[in-house]
Amino acid sequence: MPLMDRILTAGFRHNSRRLTRFKTPQPSESLPPPDRDRPYMLYLHVPFCVVLCPFCSFHRVCFREDKATRYFESLRQEIRMAHDAGYRFADIYVGGGTPTVMPEELAETLELVRRLSPIDSISIETNPDDLTPAVMGRMRDAGVTRLSVGIQSLDDKLLRQMDRYDKYGSAASVMSRLEGAQGYFDTLNADMIFNLPDQDDESLLRDVDLITRQAGVNQVTFYPLMSAESTMRKMLKTMGNVKFDREGHMYRLILDALPADYKPSSAWCFSKSEGTVDEYVIENEEYLGLGSGSLSYLDGILYSSTFSLNNYNRQIAAGRFGISRKQPLTKRDRLRYFMLMNLFGLSLDKDLAERRYPGFMRKLAPEILGLKIMGAVRDEGDRLVLTRYGMRIWILIMREFFMAVSDFRDLMRHAIKEELDAPGPLQIRLQSPEIRSPGRS
C-alpha cells in the first residue's frame, strides 16, 4: 500500500473507532425532542435474510416468518411512537437485511408512514430474487421511488465464492431479472463490490461494462470491500485474503471505464440522472433510525438501537424506543462529521456550513489546508470541491468509517450470539401466491 494510504488508513481507523465506541447503555435512554420546524430522514432496519452471505457485516439474522411478522408489528409501533413524540418525516430509507423479505408487511409499514407524514421519496434495498413483477408492483404502489438491488458481482466464479450463485442464480439470470425491473421506479440502482480477493482487473472491467451498458440500471454504486475484521478472518477460507493495496488501482479502473453519462453523485455512486443515492447520510445530516440495530444521528449524538430482537420487541411493548446506546460527538467532531459527509457527496457549500456551524471554515482551517496540500479538495467559488484524487481518498476514509461501524455491529451481535444461533422451525417465506420469489418457490 502506498505510504500516504497507510498513514491515512491508520489515522482514519483510529478516529472512526473513537467515534463508534458508543457508551455503556443507560436504562432511560430516549430520543431528544425533535425540531418541529422541519421533517427528518427516517431510516428503517429490516434485519432478515433468507440466506446469510459470508462477506456481509450488516445486522442480519436468518428469516423466520413468525419472528419477522412480530418484528414488523414492533417496527410500526415504534414509528407511531416517534410520530407521537413529534417527529415528522420527508424521506424514508429501508435497509437490511432484505427489506422485501415480507413484501406485504413492508408495504403496510411504508403506507403507515405515508399516512402520518407527506413523504417525498422512499428508497429500499432488495436482492435479485425479489425482482418479480408482483413484488416490484406492490413496492411501487406503496410509494417506493428508488430500488437498490444487491448484485455485488456479475462474475460467476466470484458469485460462487460469495455463496450467491446457488441463492440468486448465475450472472446471466441476475442480468435478465435486472432488465425486467426497468420502468417501475424513478431510480433503479445496482450495488456492486470492488476489490474482492479473487477479483482481477478483467473481471472488474467486465462488471462495469455489463452493469452500465447492458443491465439498464440508471444508477450504480461501487463499494470497496469493507467487512468487519472478524468477517474478513472468516472470509479467508472461502474468498481469500483482502488486500487493500489494490483498492486505489481498482477504483481508478472504474472511474476510467464508466460511460460518460454516469456522473458521480458521491465518491462511489454514479447516476444517469439526479436522484437519491445509497448514502442517505450525505443528503441528511440528521436522521432517525428505527428498528433493531439501526443508528440515528440527532443533535450531535449518535444513537444505536438494541441488536437483540427479543429486547427490541420487549422495549417497544413497554412503550420505550429501541435505543440502547449513545455516543455524543465533541464540537470539533460534529464539524468534521459535517465536512466528511458533505465531501463524500463531492462538495461542501461554505455558506451553508457557516450558517449551520458559525466559524466553520476558521475552526477547520488546519484540516482544510491539509486536504488542499494533498490535492484532495480545491476551492470553486463558494464551494469546496473534491478532486478526482480526493474521491480516491474519500473511498479510503469511508471504508474505514463503515468498517468501524461494522466492528461495532459485530461486537453487539456477539453479545446476542445465543439468540442469533437459536434454532427455529423451518419457515415458508411466501405470504401469498401472488407475491412469490421464483428462486425459492
Q: Which residues bind ligand SF4 (CB under 6 A)?
A: 49, 52-53, 56, 58, 60, 96-98, 127, 150
Of the pair 8, 309, the CB lying nearest ligand SF4 is at 309
Beta-carbon-side half-sphere exposure of residue 70 (alpha carbons within 13 Å): 14
Question: What is the nearest approach in angstroms of ligand SF4 to the Cβ of residue 310?
Answer: 20
Question: What is the nearest approach in angstroms of ligand SF4 to the Cβ of residue 296?
Answer: 20
Of the pair 55, 394, the CB lying nearest ligand SF4 is at 55
In DSSP notation, 356-387 reads: HSTTHHHHTHHHHHHHHHHTSEEEETTEEEE-
* Orientation of helix 65-84 relative to helix 309-317, angle to 10°: 40
What the block records as the C-alpha cell of 84 is 407521537
Question: What is the nearest approach in angstroms of ligand SF4 to the Cβ of residue 94?
Answer: 12
Of the pair 58, 262, the CB lying nearest ligand SF4 is at 58
Q: Where are the alpha helices (DSSP H) in 181-330?
A: 201-213, 229-238, 247-257, 280-283, 309-317
What are the residues facing 191 on neighbouring strands?
150, 221
Is the torsion defined by CA of 51, 411, 290, 226 positive or negative? negative
Whole-angstrom Cα distance, residue 89 to residue 387?
33
Whole-angstrom Cα distance, residue 165 to residue 16?
34
Of the pair 101, 348, the CB lying nearest ligand SF4 is at 101
Of the pair 52, 81, the CB lying nearest ligand SF4 is at 52
Of the pair 126, 315, the CB lying nearest ligand SF4 is at 126
Question: What is the nearest approach in angstroms of ligand SF4 to the Cβ of residue 95?
Answer: 8
Question: What is the nearest approach in angstroms of ligand SF4 to the Cβ of residue 124?
Answer: 13
Question: What is the nearest approach in angstroms of ligand SF4 to the Cβ of residue 96?
Answer: 5
Whole-angstrom Cα distance, residue 191 to residue 391?
18
Of the pair 68, 119, the CB lying nearest ligand SF4 is at 68
What are the residues facing 204 on neighbouring strands?
none
Of the pair 86, 438, the CB lying nearest ligand SF4 is at 438
How distant, in Å, are the alpha carbons of 153, 192, 227 from that of 158?
7, 12, 16
Phi, psi of 374 (to 5 degrees): -70, -20
DSSP state, residue 306: -
Q: Where are the alpha helices (DSSP H) in 142-183?
A: 156-161, 165-168, 171-180
DSSP state, residue 42: E
Question: What is the nearest approach in angstroms of ligand SF4 to the Cβ of residue 51?
Answer: 7
Question: What is the nearest approach in angstroms of ligand SF4 to the Cβ of residue 154?
Answer: 15
Of the pair 97, 197, the CB lying nearest ligand SF4 is at 97
Cα angle at 300 between 299 and 302, to 5 degrees? 100
Q: Tell me which residue has its CB nearest to ligand SF4.
A: 56
Phi, psi of 40 (to 5 degrees): -110, 165
Question: What is the nearest approach in angstroms of ligand SF4 to the Cβ of residue 374?
Answer: 33
Kindly report whether the peptide bond that precedes residue 95 is cis, defined as omega within 30 degrees of 0: no
Question: What is the nearest approach in angstroms of ligand SF4 to the Cβ of residue 13?
Answer: 23
Of the pair 58, 338, the CB lying nearest ligand SF4 is at 58
What the block records as the C-alpha cell of 162 is 460469495
